Structure 1
Amino acid sequence: MTDSPTHIAGDWGTTHLRLHLCRGATVLEKVDGPGIGAPSASPEAALFDAIEPWSCNYGPLPIWLAGMIGSRNGWREVPYASCPAGVTELRKSMLRFSARGHEIIIGAGVSCTNPLGAPDVMRGEETQILGAIATRPELGRGRHIFALPGTHTKWAIIEDGKLQTFQTSLSGELYALLRDRSTLLKASTADANDAAEQRGFDAGLQRIRELRTVPLTHLLFEVRARQLIQGMTHADASAFLSGLIIGQDVLGALPLFDGTLRTVASVPIIGAPQLAALYSAALSAHGIDAEPLDATALTVAGLNALAHH
C-alpha cells in the first residue's frame, strides 16, 4: 500500500524517548517512552513496549534512532564521527543491527577539537543540524553558526553543509544543579509569577552586560543575597539565575569561531521553545537576530535525511 509507513524515527535522550511512525518525510503517529536514564526497563524492552501497536499493525519496520541511546550509557555504544561531518560521513558512521526482527540503526555522535583547543563531543544535536539543512537548504550553503541550547548547550559552525567544530557550554546542567541542589533558591518561598520571571531574567541579562569581565562565580551568590536583603521573590530569583547563566553563555560565545556570531545575518536556535526564546532574548541584547527552530521536528527530518540519502 502506498500509504503504509516506511520506518520509525526516534529521538532517545537521557530523560525522554520520542518515536515517530513515518511514511517518508511525513509523520503519521507519535508515541513517547522513558529515557535511557530510567531505571525500570532495559532500552530494548522500553523500545519494543512503546512500538508494540505499530509492530502488530505494520510488521518489522526499520528503526532509526538518534541521541544518547548510542552513548556509553545507552543500548549500544556508537563511536563518534570526526569533524568535519555531513550527511555522508554520519551515514557511514551509523551502527546497524537486528533486534526482534527489526533493523535498528543508531546514529553516531560527533567529536572535534573545539575553539579552545580541547576535545569536545555531541550526540543527537548533529542529527538536528542535518534536519535543519534538509528543511532549510540555504543553511547548507556558506558559513553559519547554530545555537543548540539544552542540558549541554552547543555552539556549532556549519560550512557548506558540514559541521566543522563546536563548543559545549554546561549552562543547562549548571542551572538545574544550582536551582535544585544549592542554597541559592532556599531563601524565599516558592511562587509562580510570569511577570516576575520575565523581570528576573531581564535583570540577570542586564547584570551580565554591566559586568562583562566579572566571573560568573562572583555573581551567583547575588541570587541568594537579593532574596534576603532586597526581598526578591523565588520566581524572580530563579529567573535571575537563569539570566545570569544564559547571559554569560552568550557573552562567552561572542568571540568564538573568529567572532562569527557577530557577523551572521541570523542564528538558528534549535531547542525547546521556551529555552530557545530565552536564548533569542540574550542574543537580541547584543543586537543579534535569532530564529528558533523545533528540535523534535528537526531530529525526525535529520533521521529521514540519513535514511534516504
Structure 2
Amino acid sequence: MTDSPTHIAGDWGTTHLRLHLCRGATVLDKADGAGIGSLTTNAEATLFAALEPWTGQYGPLPIWLAGMVGSRNGWREVPYASCPAGVAELRASLLRFDARGRSIAIAAGVSCTNPLGAPDVMRGEETQILGAIATHPSLGRGRSIVALPGTHTKWALVENGKLKSFQTSLSGELYALLRDRSTLLKASTAEANEDAERRGFEAGLQRSRELRNVPLSHLLFEVRARQLIQSMTHAEASTYLSGLIIGQDVLGALPLFDGTMRASAAVPIIGAPRLAELYGAALAAHGIETLPLDATELTLAGLNALAHPDIAE
C-alpha cells in the first residue's frame, strides 16, 4: 500500500523519547516515552513498549534514532564522529544492529577541538544541523553559524555543508541550577507576571552589554541584591538572571570562528520556541537577524538525510 509507513524515526534525549511513524518524510503518527535520564526499565524495553501500538498493525519497521540514546548512559554507546562531519561521515558512523527482529540505526554524536582549543562534544544536535542543511540549502554553501540553545547551548560553524567546529556553553544548565538550587531567587515571593518577566529579561540583557568585560560571576549576586534593596519581584529577578546569562553567552559567541556570525544574513536558531525567541532578542540587540527553526522537524529531516544520502547530497 502506498499509505503504509516505511520506518520509525526517533529523537531520544535525556528528558523525552519522541517517536514518529513515517512514510518517507511524512509523519503519520507520534508516540512518546521516558527520556534516557528517567528510565525505570532498560532502554530496549522502554522503546518497544512505546512502539507496541504500531507493532501489531505495521510489523517490524526499521528504526532510526538520534540523541542521548547513543550516549554512554543510553541504550548502546556510539563513538563520536570527528569534525568535519557531513552526511557521508555521519552515515558511516551509524551504529547498526538488530533487536527483536527489527533493524536499528543510532546516529553518532560529533567531537571537535573547539575555538578555545579544548575538546568538545555534541550528541543529537548534529542530526538537527543535517536537517537544517537539507531543508535550507543555502546552509550547504560557504560559512554559516548555527545556534542551538538548550541545556548545553551549541554555537556551530557549518562550512560547505559540513559541521566544521562548535563551542558549547553551559548556559541552560547554569540557569536551571541557579534558579532552583541557589539563594539568588529566594529573596522575594514567586508570582507570574508577563510584563515583569519581559522587563527583567531586557534589563539583564542590557546589563550584560553595558558590562561586557565584567565576569558573569561578578554580576550574578545582583539578582538577589536587587530583590532586597530595589524590591525587584521574583518574576522579574528570574528573567533578569536569564538575561544576564544569555546576554553573556551571546557576547562570548560573537567573536568565535573569526566573527563569521556578524557576516551571516540570518543565524538559524534551533531549539524550543521560547528559548529561540530569547536568543533571537539577544542577537537582535547586536544587529544580527535570526531564523527560528523547529528542532523536532530538523531531527526528522536529518535522520531522513542519513537514510537517503543520495537525496541529501
Q: Normalized against structure 1, the TM-score is what? A: 0.99
Distance in 2 (CA, whole Å) between partners of 1:261 and 1:271 is 18
Partner of 2:7: 7
Partner of 1:95: 95
Q: Do 2:266 and 2:291's aligned partners in 1 also have CA atoms closer than 8 Å?
A: yes
The code of the aligned residue for 2:166 comes to F
Partner of 2:262: 262
Distance in 2 (CA, whole Å) between partners of 1:82 and 1:9 is 24
Partner of 1:192: 192
- Post-superposition CA distance 1:18-52 (Å, at most 9, x none): 10000000011111111001141211111111110
CA RMSD of aligned residues (A): 0.6
Bigger drift between 134-143 and 284-293 goes to: 134-143
Partner of 1:55: 55
Partner of 2:70: 70
Partner of 2:302: 302
Q: Do 2:115 and 2:167's aligned partners in 1 also have CA atoms closer than 8 Å?
A: yes
Distance in 2 (CA, whole Å) between partners of 1:306 and 1:93 is 10
Distance in 1 (CA, whole Å) between partners of 2:273 and 2:33 is 21
- Post-superposition CA distance 1:147-188 (Å, at most 9, x none): 000000000000110000000000000000000000001111
Which structure 2 segments of 5+ residues have no match? none
- Provide the secondary structure at the position in 2 that maps to 1:51: helix
Shift of 1:146: 0.2
Shift of 1:77: 0.3
- Provide the secondary structure at the position in 2 that maps to 1:115: coil
How many residue pairs match? The answer is: 309
Q: Identity of aligned pairs, percent?
A: 81
- Provide the secondary structure at the position in 2 that maps to 1:195: helix
1:164 aligns with 2:164: yes
Partner of 1:251: 251
* Structure 1 stretches of 4+ moved >3 Å: none
Partner of 1:111: 111
1:204 aligns with 2:210: no
Mapping 1:171-250, distance limit 5 Å: 171-250=171-250
Q: Normalized against structure 2, the TM-score is what? A: 0.98
Q: Do 2:39 and 2:46's aligned partners in 1 also have CA atoms closer than 8 Å?
A: no
Distance in 2 (CA, whole Å) between partners of 1:281 and 1:41 is 41
1:18 aligns with 2:18: yes
The code of the aligned residue for 1:233 comes to T
The code of the aligned residue for 2:263 comes to T
Partner of 2:272: 272
Q: Do 2:86 and 2:161's aligned partners in 1 also have CA atoms closer than 8 Å?
A: yes
Partner of 2:136: 136
Distance in 2 (CA, whole Å) between partners of 1:13 and 1:211 is 36
Which structure 1 segments of 5+ residues have no match? none
Partner of 2:281: 281
Q: Do 2:171 and 2:249's aligned partners in 1 also have CA atoms closer than 8 Å?
A: yes
Distance in 1 (CA, whole Å) between partners of 2:272 and 2:82 is 27
